[in-house]
Amino acid sequence: MLKKTTIVSLFSIISASYMAQNTTLPVYLDESKSIEQRVQDALSRMTLEEKIAMIHAQSKFSSPGVPRLGIPEFWTTDGPHGVRPEVMWDEWDQAGWTNDSIIAYPALTALSATWNKKMSWNYGKALGEEARYRKKDILLGPGVNIYRTPLNGRNFEYMGEDPYLTSKMVVPYIQGVQSNGVATSVKHFALNNQEMFRHTSNVIIDDRTLHEIYLPPFKAAVTEGDSWTIMGAYDYYKGQIASHNKYLINDILKGKWGYKGVVVSDWGAANNTEQAIHNGLDLEFGSWTNGLSEGNSNAYDSYYLAKPYLKLIKEGKVGTKELDDKVTRVLRLAYKTTMNKNKPFGNIASEEHKAIAKEIGEEGIVLLKNQGNVLPIDINKTKKIAVIGENAIKIMTVGGGSSSLKVKYETLPLDGIKARFGKQSDVQFARGYVGDIGGEYNGVKSGQNLKDDRSPQELLNEAIELAKKSDYVIFVGGLNKADFQDSEGNDRKSYGLPYNQDNVISALAKVNKNLAVVLVSGNAVAMPWLNEVPTIVQAWYLGSEAGNSIASILAGDANPSGKLPFTFPVKLEDNSAHQLGEYPGNKAELAAGKGKDQKNIINIKYNEGILVGYRWHDTKKIKPLFSFGHGLSYTTFEFGKAKADKTTISQDDKITFTVSVKNTGKKAGAEVAQLYISDVKSSVQRPAKELKGFEKVYLNPGEEKEVNFTIDKTALSFYDAEKQDWVAEAGDFEAQIGNSSDSIKTKVKFTLK
């Protein structure tokens, strides 16, 4: 088999050969022709065997091109937060390269928490440059699955609970990555909203909920972002696996939305040759075949879209119409990536990339509570700072599953705090608790061994004594990327903080009033100590610049402006999926032991319907711990009275709302104006309000700016399952503008004819 270094140069060699002979280039090599002309010409020159080879993997992360025609291989890579280290050709084990370390960017929860579309573009462009430099053609991300339950182990990779926010944040990310000639693969299409039973669950959901909550980010990725590939999911829907699902892929993605790109299977998600042929799967990776022991020289030839497909064609049981469509799509992708001579070279770990990672981290950090203005730390009045908690010293760029990264560096919270405050203050550390001591995840070694044999009481006593002697206490805890926490493959086992952290936090609060709790996690957590603690910071997983971003916020160098992309419920039962829906599956089937393999599929019914996240809390008036869109600042803001440019609009009209936002404090900062729409009277159940616009506004002290939101009937519509279309009912609506879902500052009514 030809390796990458051989194939990648064939295109240039063949072109040069024709030029040297003064021979007219074949159409598929002629850049003066349109891509569609070149694609059809290349397709006409390919043998049946070459076509089959092109639609399935040849290694863990690559698929073959057509060496005879000089069409290069495709190289894919995880992940959405940084380019994954190289693995062996046929194995998951690390390849042991020394030049595959990169910059880790903040997890997508942190990016979404910026509520800043410009940050999303910067993120995508920088990540795409690193992927391009590493010679990757398809980046397996970003993830846009909706936050349905705080127990989902993979929530940290996604963009939150709201389809509108996710849609608006994912589009510039896609455009930024693909500006480098690297395709995104938006995932996981669709309904992959938990890790438990992800291979063996059949999601039961009504059409309205599917279209209003779970599909909009994918639709935006296709129709606005033009993502060149989409990754299927592991779960079942209507009894078919999502990666080759007739309704999801043929009817919706390629039918209603007119998608012309490539549908890639999640690794091992294909399980049926005929469904893969007919239900829209274009490129198959990671199938659980065992071709080697069956006597084949290449296990990949046993994939569902490999020899089994070829056999059906040769036996006359299926035609080649579907095959030609799949190959056409893959060839289109080639001309945008592997055969795109204008793609940039990219770069890796540049100063610009480091700055982008730090800035996104700063903008994404959410100040949840700041009673008594404990933050920012006044460095001139602070002689001693106590940093307590394992997450202050634990490397977080490794672990979590397929997004585990090998980085050039990771600035830990303790290191960032020491670098920022250490010259003027004595910064000391105490462990406080022992959680996950491991240093190797997914074959990536952090080099850390955090073993500590002291008893929980000894650790607590040390932390308390240090806290008593300090001017400030910064507790850095939360979750980590070990199994059963924020990690692919399994969900969390409980909503509370692990490792006895609740007791540690309560004890610290009793001995020092200047306490800031910094939570590193990609999920909401219970906070039984909420009323004991003056200051809480949600810091997420922030990548290579984590410690510097956190220290910048603590010092006030950057004014916090992040907003929560999902609701923090007080207790797990306050979440709609746990109160109304089935999680992790149907109780009777769980009791019967279903879900263990694909012969015993377990059903999961989304009984909560459209009432996900703040839609549930606001509609049912269930007070959250912290609301969707919530986030404080070191300054204060004032909203003026909202105005509309008209009071009545037609079905084909638009309406613009204007509101002023003023910085009434003493520090420069940013506020996020959030527009929610409420249908005053509807023939169907609708949420109390839905996000339909947001804008981040940067203001100096005393400065005031106007923010405009323009909407049309799409912002007023619901999905009518009977009509299979969006409907905006005539009647009264209300625009509600504020800075979180439970903090509406101004309202204005209008009527749709």
* Residues annotated as catalytic (active site), given as ranges: 266
User: 197 and 604 in contact (C-beta within 8 Å)?
Assistant: yes
What are the angstrom distances between the C-alpha of 28 and each of 16, 334, 361, 696? 14, 11, 44, 46
User: 152 and 400 in contact (C-beta within 8 Å)?
Assistant: no
d(CA 201, CA 94): 31
Q: Which residues, 6+ apart, have CB-to-CB distance to 707 below 8 Å?
A: 658, 659, 660, 661, 673, 695, 697
Q: Which contiguous run of DSSP H or E holds residue 677? A: strand 669-679
User: 475 and 510 in contact (C-beta within 8 Å)?
Assistant: no
Token output for 702: 């005393």
d(CA 153, CA 489): 7
- The residues pairing with 63 across neighbouring beta strands, listed in sequence order, are 74
d(CA 5, CA 256): 40
d(CA 556, CA 113): 18
Q: Which residues, 6+ apart, have CB-to-CB distance to 80 below 8 Å?
A: 108, 127, 139, 140, 141, 142, 143, 157, 403
The dihedral built from the CA positions of residue 617, 622, 624 and 629, taken in this order, carries a sign that is: positive
d(CA 511, CA 531): 15
Burial 304-317 (b: 16+ CB within 10 A, else e): bbbbbbbeebeeee
Place of tokens 């000639």: 181
Q: Which residues, 6+ apart, have CB-to-CB distance to 252 below 8 Å?
A: 215
Burial 344-376 (b: 16+ CB within 10 A, else e): eebebbeeebbebbbbbbbbbbbbbbbeeebbb
User: 50 and 111 in contact (C-beta within 8 Å)?
Assistant: no
d(CA 402, CA 388): 30
Place of tokens 């001693």: 384
Q: What is the DSSP string of 143-198?
A: B------TT-TTGGGS--S-HHHHHHHHHHHHHHHHTTT-EEEEEEETT---STTT
- The residues pairing with 744 across neighbouring beta strands, listed in sequence order, are 738
d(CA 749, CA 562): 29
- Whose CA is closest to 728, among 649, 651, 652? 651
Helix-strand-coil split of the chain, %, nearest 5:
30, 20, 50
Place of tokens 């056409």: 328
Per DSSP bridges, beta strands 201-204 and 183-189 are: unpaired
d(CA 350, CA 355): 9
User: 614 and 627 in contact (C-beta within 8 Å)?
Assistant: yes
Alpha carbon of residue 198 to chain centroid:
17
User: 505 and 461 in contact (C-beta within 8 Å)?
Assistant: no
End-to-end CA separation in angstroms for the chain: 65
